[in-house]
């Protein structure tokens, strides 16, 4: 299984800035056991796609969200087909900022996962607990609730490479406070257990990414941990040099 090194650019970068960063990134060698994905803002996807065309690069483009319908009266939303049209092969679903700020419920996130996969987009489903939930001893119940709802309406047989989980403790996102090795391994073990319970045959082959204050300085240690099959990087992915160091870490 190749490790998935993914950049989440959130609501940063104009078209020109995104394309320039991606061009720089495309020149950085990717180790053979790794795969690189960039989740760019919707508005910059097409310019990123165009920029990559001349580059012979294996970097994959992804959207940061999608709406679970083919098309329709859903003002402000973007469909999986529209993402594919802009060169995306994957999509991020259920990021904690969308859960917390946009109020996305677990079941709606589950609809997106199923619909995106059915529309030929690979999915990275994000899960993770808040500090209050962790302090209240709810780590396992929160992760299992988010995972079971997120995966509820999928067929029982799916290609494992097409679905990854990103474990992102909310208290570690954008805070500079990275989870410790013990905390990461414990949470990833819980995710793996839930994946096995849901997909007895493919659960072991699905990638589990860690996200939350991953930096060039700590990526090497994190990527070696048990059940860590990649990283999802916000702040430290905005500069090609910094993200390039993480990809090679």
Binding site for ligand PGA (CB under 6 A): 8, 168, 173-174, 211-214, 232-236
CB of residue 6 vs ligand PGA: minimum separation in angstroms?
A: 8
Q: Min. distance of Cβ 211 from ligand PGA in angstroms?
A: 4
- Nearer to ligand PGA among residue 142 and residue 199 (C-beta): 142
Question: Tokens standing for 249?
Answer: 């870490």
Query: Alpha helix locations (H) across the chain?
Result: 15-26, 42-53, 80-85, 96-101, 106-118, 131-135, 139-150, 181-198, 216-223, 240-247
**Nearer to ligand PGA among residue 147 and residue 232 (C-beta):** 232
Give the separation between CA 94 and CA 164, rounded to whole angstroms.
12
Minimum CB distance to ligand PGA smaller for 65 or for 213: 213
- Helix and strand numbers (H, E) in the chain are 10, 8
Residue with tokens 């999608």: 66
Q: How far apart are the first and last CA of the chain?
A: 17
From the list 97, 104, 129, 168, the catalytic residue is 168
CB of 217 to ligand PGA, least distance (A): 13
Interaxial angle between packed helices 216-223 and 181-198, expressed in degrees from 0 to 180 and rounded to the nearest 10: 50
Contacts of 69 (CB under 8 A, 6+ apart): 77, 79, 115
168 is catalytic: yes
Shortest gap between Cβ of 214 and ligand PGA (angstroms)? 5
Under 8 Å between Cβ of 88 and 61: yes
Q: Considering the complex, what minimum distance in angstroms separates the CB of residue 168 from ligand PGA?
A: 6
**95 is known as an active-site residue:** yes
Which of the residues 95, 104, 111, 188 is marked catalytic? Answer: 95
Give me the residue whose beta carbon is nearest to ligand PGA: 234
Cα distances (Å, whole numbers) of residue 28 to 45, 55, 212: 20, 11, 23
Of 87 and 169, which CB lies nearer to ligand PGA in the complex structure?
A: 169
**Is the CB of 150 or the CB of 211 nearer to ligand PGA?**
211
Active site positions, annotated: 95, 168
């Amino acid at each position: 299984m190749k490790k998935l090194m993914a950049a989440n650019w959130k609501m940063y970068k104009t078209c020109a800035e995104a394309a320039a960063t991606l061009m720089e990134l495309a020149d950085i060698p990717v180790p053979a056991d790794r795969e690189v994905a960039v989740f760019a803002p919707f508005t910059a996807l097409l310019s990123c796609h165009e920029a990559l065309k001349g580059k012979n690069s294996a970097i994959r483009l992804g959207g940061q969200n999608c709406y679970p319908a083919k098309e329709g009266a859903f003002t402000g939303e973007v469909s999986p087909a529209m993402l594919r049209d802009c060169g995306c092969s994957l999509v991020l679903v259920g990021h904690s900022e969308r859960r917390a700020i946009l109020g996305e419920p677990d079941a709606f996130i589950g609809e997106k996962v199923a619909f995106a996969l059915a529309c030929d987009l690979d999915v990275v489903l994000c899960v993770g607990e808040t500090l209050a939930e962790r302090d209240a001893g709810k780590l396992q119940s929160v992760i299992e609730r988010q995972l079971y709802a997120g995966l509820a309406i999928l067929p029982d047989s799916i290609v494992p490479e097409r679905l990854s989980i990103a474990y992102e403790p909310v208290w570690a996102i954008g805070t500079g406070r990275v989870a410790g090795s013990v905390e990461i391994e414990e949470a990833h073990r819980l995710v793996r257990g839930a994946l096995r319970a849901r997909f007895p045959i493919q659960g072991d082959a699905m990638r589990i990414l860690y996200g939350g204050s991953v930096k060039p300085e700590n990526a090497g240690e994190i990527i070696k941990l048990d059940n860590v099959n990649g990283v999802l990087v916000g702040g430290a992915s905005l500069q090609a040099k910094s993200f390039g160091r993480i990809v090679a870490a």
